[in-house]
Structure 1
Amino acid sequence: MVRVESWTPLEIEPEGIGGPEELVQRLEEMGPQELAGLLAEEKALVFRGFDVMAESLPALIALLLPGSSGWERRGAVDTVCRTETGRPGTTIWPVQKMSAAHAWPTRLVMYCDTAPLSGGESMVVDAARWLAALDPALSERLIPGVRYVRYFHDGSGFGERWQSTFRTDRREQVELLLDGTGDEWTWQADGGIQVSRILPATVRHPVTGTEVWFNQIHRWHPAGSGPQQTLSRILPEEKLPWNVTFADGSAIPGHVVSEICGLGFATAVDIPWSRGDLMVLDNISLAHGRRPFTGKRRICVAMSS
C-alpha cells in the first residue's frame, strides 16, 4: 500500500490592516500563478478573520477564480448562496463536484454567509490518500473506469421523466441530443430510456501529476451513501434512477462499496465555518461533503475550470 502523508488545509489569517481589503491586497500581490502553485501544493486555502461580506465577493472571486465570469455585484449572494433546510440531520458524503460528468470544475470557492448553530463542517477527503488506502486489486479492476447509469421513466416511476429532463416529448429529438454526448442509450419496453456513460474512476492531477480517486461510486451505488439505499429496496436494479457498475456493465459488489465509503470516511478532515470565512479548494485533489448541523447554514459556492 502506498503511504500518503496526512493532510489539513492551509489557514490564512490577517497580518496587517485586516478586513477584506487586506485579503484583496494579498491576493493581488500573490498573482494568479503563485496562487495556482500554492493551491496545487496545499489543496485548500481557508481565509479566516477577514470579515468578508457580500459586497466584497465579486472582487475576491475575480482573484480566486481568474478567467471565470465571477459573481455579478447585484444579487451576488442570492445567486450563489443557499440556506440549507432539507435534512440537516444527515451527512452529505464527500465527492468531487461533477466527477460523474464529462467535464468538471478544477477549483471551487466557498463562502460562509450564515454559520450553523452547531455542526455543519465541510467534510473533506484527500483523494490521493483515499486511493492509496484502497485494495490494489480494486484499483486495477477500475482502470477501465466506471459506468454511470440513469433511468428516466415515461411518466410513472421514481426519479425524472425523460420528457422533463430533455425538454421534449419527441423520441427522435432525445436521440439527436444524446448522439452528441458520447453516452449510450436504450429505449425500454415500458417507454422509459436508460442512458449510461463510462468515465474514469481515477485521474491524474493536471499540475502535480498525482493519481487521485475521482468518481461517485459511493453516491450512485445502491449500497452507498445516497438515496439509492432506500430505492433499491423497492425497485428492480434496471429501474433505479441512478446506478453505477464496472465499465463492462458487471455489478460492483455491495461490500466493495462499503469498503470505499469506510476508507473515505476514515480519512476525512472537518473544516468548521464561521460567518465571513472563505475557502478555495482544488476539486480534483479533494472531495468535499457536509456534516449534520442545527440552525441555518448558508454557504455560497462558485467554481471555474
Structure 2
Amino acid sequence: MNEHASWKPLEITPESAGCAPSADGLVGHLRELNLAEVLTAEKALVFRGFGVRPETLDPVMDLLLPRRLAYVHGNSPRTKVGRNVYTSTEYPARYTISMHNELSYAAQWPARLLFFCQIAAETGGATPVVDAELWLNSLDPQLRADFAGGLRYQQNLHDGMGLGKSWRDTFETDSRDEVEEFLAGAGATWEWTADGLRVIQLRPATLRHPVTGVEVWFNQADQWHPAGLDDDIARVMTQVMGPDELPQSVTFADGSPIPDEYVTQIRDRGLEAAVDVDWRVGDLLLIDNVLTAHGRRPYTGDRRVLVAMSD
C-alpha cells in the first residue's frame, strides 16, 4: 500500500513561518494563523525548531487548544502532570500501539489532540499518524459492510484492585453520582458490580467530519478485541477469563462476535498506511482527532511525550 505517500502532516518551522525560533515566536505566528482552517485542510501539523520547553508550553498550548479537556472515560494508562495535561501513555515501551482516534468508543471525543516531546527516545518511539479516510478506504468491502451496524463496547472498571483501570481513575472522581450523571448523558448503560462498574456503549464504526463531511474509520474495535493484542499477558488473560470478565471487550452491536481476521486486517492496514512522526525534543504535533488517527512505535531508553486535548 503506497497511497499514504500522498499525505503527511504539514511541518511548520521558524523558517517557513517567518518568525523567531522560540516559543514566543511560535505564539506570535499562531496568533496570525487561521488555525482551524489550516488544521482541517492539512489534518495534522508538526511544529519543529521552536525550542519549546515545559515551562514555555502553556502559552503555546492555550492557542492550539482553546479549551483543554480532562481525559474522562479514557482507557489508556496515563498520569496527569498539569492542567489537563497527561503523559501520552504508560503502555510498555516494547509494544506497538495500533492506530486509533482518541475516545472514538465514547459518546464524546476531543476534536484536537496536541502532543509535546519533552524527552525523545533513544531509538524508535515515533508517533505514527494516518489519514482516517484512507484507512477506511483500505479495508475490504465486506468488512466495511459488516461493520455498518455499529459496535458494542463493554468495560469492567474495578473498584481499586484488579486488571485495567479503576472507575475512579477513569472518571477522575470518587463520586458514583457524578459517574452515573456522566454515563446517562453519554447514552451508556451501566451497572455497579461486586468488583466495580460495568459500562456498555453502542457506537458507530465510522463518522463524518463536522466540517468537510468526509467519512472516516472511527472506532477502536482492534484495540478492544483479543485478536488485536500483542501483549503476552493480555493473551493469557483472555484464556483464563470469559468475555464478560475482561477489562474491555467489543462485539458487533447485535452482540455477535467480530471475526479475528477482521481485527488483524483493521490493525495491520492502519499501521501500514501510517506516516511516522519522529520526535525531537521540543516538537509539537497537533492533529484533527476525526480526520487523523494515531498510535505509537516501540522504543528504547527514556521517552516522555505529553498530551492534551480540546473540543
TM-score range, shorter chain: 0.7 to 0.9
Aligned to 1:49: 49
For residue 204 of structure 1, the aligned residue among 194, 204, 208 is 208
In the TM superposition, 1:94-243 aligns within 5 A as 94-152=99-157, 158-159=163-164, 181-185=186-190, 194-225=198-229, 228-243=234-249
Distance 1:191 1:20, change over 3 A: closer
For residue 257 of structure 2, the aligned residue among 238, 251, 257 is 251
Please tell me the residue identity of whatever aligns with 1:211: E
**Alpha-carbon offset, residue 49 of structure 1:** 0.9
Distance 1:26 1:294, change over 3 A: same
Distance 1:273 1:10, change over 3 A: same
Q: Are the counterparts in 2 of residues 154 and 191 from structure 1 also a CA contact under 8 Å?
A: yes
Please tell me the residue identity of whatever aligns with 2:138: A
**Alpha-carbon offset, residue 178 of structure 1:** 5.3
Residues in 2 aligned to 1:136 and 1:122: alpha-carbon distance in whole angstroms: 28
Aligned to 2:31: 28
For residue 282 of structure 2, the aligned residue among 267, 271, 276 is 276
**Alpha-carbon offset, residue 283 of structure 1:** 0.8
Residues in 2 aligned to 1:26 and 1:173: alpha-carbon distance in whole angstroms: 40
Residues in 1 aligned to 2:113 and 2:159: alpha-carbon distance in whole angstroms: 36
Distance 1:157 1:132, change over 3 A: same
Distance 1:192 1:250, change over 3 A: farther
Aligned to 2:308: 302
The Cα offsets for residues 133-192 of structure 1, whole Å up to 9 and x where unpaired, read as: 11122212222211101235689974567799799999999878755542234678x877
* SS of alignment partner, residue 111 of structure 1: strand
Aligned to 2:75: none
Aligned to 1:264: 270
Q: Are the counterparts in 1 of residues 88 and 307 from structure 2 also a CA contact under 8 Å?
A: no
Larger Rg: 1
State the TM-score, normalizing by the size of structure 1: 0.83
Q: CA RMSD in A?
A: 3.5
Identity %: 45
* SS of alignment partner, residue 36 of structure 2: helix
Greater CA drift, 81-90 or 198-207: 81-90
For residue 96 of structure 2, the aligned residue among 91, 95, 98 is 91
* SS of alignment partner, residue 25 of structure 2: helix
Q: Are the counterparts in 1 of residues 98 and 270 from structure 2 also a CA contact under 8 Å?
A: no
Aligned to 2:65: 65
Q: Are the counterparts in 2 of residues 77 and 300 from structure 1 also a CA contact under 8 Å?
A: no
Distance 1:252 1:272, change over 3 A: same
Residues in 1 aligned to 2:154 and 2:143: alpha-carbon distance in whole angstroms: 20
Please tell me the residue identity of whatever aligns with 1:62: D
* SS of alignment partner, residue 66 of structure 2: coil
Structure 2: 5+ residue runs without aligned partners? Answer: 71-79
Structure 1: 5+ residue runs without aligned partners? Answer: none
Greater CA drift, 42-51 or 16-25: 16-25
Greater CA drift, 120-129 or 159-168: 159-168
Q: Are the counterparts in 1 of residues 152 and 201 from structure 2 also a CA contact under 8 Å?
A: yes
Q: Are the counterparts in 2 of residues 84 and 298 from structure 1 also a CA contact under 8 Å?
A: no
* SS of alignment partner, residue 228 of structure 2: coil
Please tell me the residue identity of whatever aligns with 1:301: V
Please tell me the residue identity of whatever aligns with 2:310: S
Residues in 1 aligned to 2:69 and 2:157: alpha-carbon distance in whole angstroms: 33
Residues in 2 aligned to 1:171 and 1:273: alpha-carbon distance in whole angstroms: 40
Residues in 2 aligned to 1:126 and 1:112: alpha-carbon distance in whole angstroms: 22
Distance 1:209 1:180, change over 3 A: closer
* SS of alignment partner, residue 301 of structure 1: strand
Aligned length: 295
Greater CA drift, 168-177 or 103-112: 168-177
Distance 1:176 1:117, change over 3 A: closer
Please tell me the residue identity of whatever aligns with 2:237: L
The Cα offsets for residues 98-119 of structure 1, whole Å up to 9 and x where unpaired, read as: 1111100010111111111111
